[in-house]
Amino acid sequence: MRLLNILVIAALVLAASFVYKIKFDSTLQAERVAKLRNELRRERDITARLRAEWAQLDTPGRIQGLAERHLKLQPIQSTQFDSLDAPPERPPAMVQPPFEDPIAKIIAPLAPDTTGSVPAPEVAR
């Protein structure tokens, strides 16, 4: 009977130590979760503050004032615009490349006159 009592007491001590270990681990995890929540809240506050600062720095009125103060720009005149019926002249086309291309010499005899997979139509004479 004494042996049974000793075994029961040992089992109770082991169970109590196991319960204490679980409680201690859960307390540590709860502290860790609380710490992470605080860090997350702080990061969200910082993000909100930075977005507000960005919105303030990005306002068109502020940018206009900075442009007027630091850039030497002149207002747009109506004579600066041209109508679409008078496009600018094309630049002159290059007649010949400034250097000789050895790869083009190899490819030129192999390249067909037409492009695509459809053969060129024959001209009736």
Segment 4-60, tens digit of pLDDT: 999 999 999 999 999 999 999 999 999 999 999 999 999 999 999 999 999 999 999
| pLDDT at site 114 | 57
> pLDDT band at residue 124, thresholds of 50, 70 and 90?
low
Phi-psi domain of 116 (left: phi exceeds 0; alpha: psi -120 through 50; beta: other): left
Residue 120, pLDDT above cutoff 70: no
pLDDT at 118: 62
Q: Given this model, what pLDDT does residue 37 score?
A: 97
Of the CA atoms within 13 Å of residue 92, those in its CB half-sphere come to: 3
Angle at 37 between CA 56 and CA 48, to 5 degrees: 5
Task: Rounding to the nearest 10 degrees, give the CA dihedral for residues 48, 50, 54, 57.
Answer: 120
Predicted confidence at residue 75, as pLDDT, reads 79
Query: What pLDDT is recorded for position 57?
Result: 92
DSSP annotation of 79: G
Model pLDDT for residues 56-102, shown as the tens digit of each residue:
999 999 988 888 888 888 878 877 777 777 777 777 766 665 667 77
